[in-house]
C-alpha cells in the first residue's frame, strides 16, 4: 500500500518515447503478465479561429490531484484483476505532437488490461484537477475543454 502511495504521477514537460520504452522494458522480469495495454495522450494541433495550437500548458491542484490519482489506482486494483499499472501526466508546457498522458496497465489476460486502461483514462479526464491552456503561435491562448 505505502509503495503505491508514493508513486509520482506528474512529470515536468512532455513524456518522452524513451521513458515509455524503458517502462515497457522493465516489465520483462514480470513473467506472469500476459497482456499490456497502453494509452498515450498526444497534444493535438487544433485550429481554433484560424489559429493553430502550438502547445498545451498544464497546471494542476497538485495536492488534490495526487490524492485523486491514488484513489483511481486503488479502485482500479479492486475492480480489475491487475498485475501492475503506471500513470504519468505532464505538467507545464507540452508541444503539439508530444505525449502528455501515459497510462500503462498489465494483467494476465488482455480483457482486464484493456478495460482498466480505458477506465483509468476516463476517470483522469473527468476527475483529476488538471487544466490545460491551449497556446497558439502568437502566444495567445484559450483554456482547453475536454470532450466527453
Q: Does 148 bind other proteins (CB under 8 A)?
A: no
Query: Judged by CB under 8 A, does residue 78 bind other proteins?
Result: no
**In the complex, least distance from residue 142 CB atom to other proteins, rounded to whole angstroms:** 9
- Phi, psi values for residue 121, rounded to 5°: -60, -45
Q: What gap in Å lies between CA 112 and CA 109, rounded to an integer? A: 6
- Residue 14 near other proteins by CB under 8 A: no
Compose the 33-62 pattern: x for residues touching other proteins by CB under 8 A, - for all others.
--------x----------------xxxx-
Burial of residue 76, with CB atoms counted within 10 A of its CB: 0-12 exposed, 13-18 middle, 19 or more buried: buried
Instruction: Please identify, using beta-carbon distances, which residue of 80 and 88 lies nearer to other proteins.
Output: 88
Taking the C-alpha atoms of residue 132 and residue 56, their distance in angstroms, rounded to an integer, is 6
Q: Tell me whether residue 16 or residue 81 sits nearer to other proteins (CB atom).
A: 16
Strands 10-12 and 84-95, sheet pairing: parallel
Binding residues vs other proteins (CB under 8 A): 41, 58-61, 63-64, 67, 89, 100-101, 121, 124-133, 143-146
Amino acid at each position: 500500500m505505502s509503495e503505491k502511495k508514493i508513486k509520482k504521477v506528474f512529470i515536468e514537460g512532455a513524456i518522452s518515447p524513451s521513458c515509455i520504452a524503458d517502462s515497457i522494458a522493465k516489465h520483462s522480469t514480470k513473467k506472469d503478465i500476459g497482456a499490456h495495454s497502453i494509452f498515450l495522450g498526444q497534444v493535438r494541433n487544433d485550429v481554433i479561429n484560424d489559429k493553430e495550437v502550438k502547445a498545451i500548458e498544464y497546471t494542476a491542484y497538485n495536492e488534490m490531484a495526487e490524492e485523486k490519482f491514488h484513489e483511481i489506482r486503488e479502485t482500479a486494483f479492486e475492480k480489475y484483476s491487475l498485475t501492475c499499472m503506471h500513470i504519468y501526466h505532464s505538467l507545464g508546457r507540452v508541444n503539439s505532437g508530444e505525449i502528455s498522458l501515459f497510462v500503462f496497465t498489465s494483467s494476465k489476460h488482455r480483457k482486464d488490461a484493456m478495460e482498466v486502461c480505458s477506465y483509468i483514462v476516463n476517470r483522469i479526464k473527468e476527475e483529476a484537477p488538471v487544466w490545460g491552456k491551449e497556446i497558439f503561435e502568437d502566444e495567445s491562448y484559450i483554456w482547453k475543454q475536454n470532450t466527453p
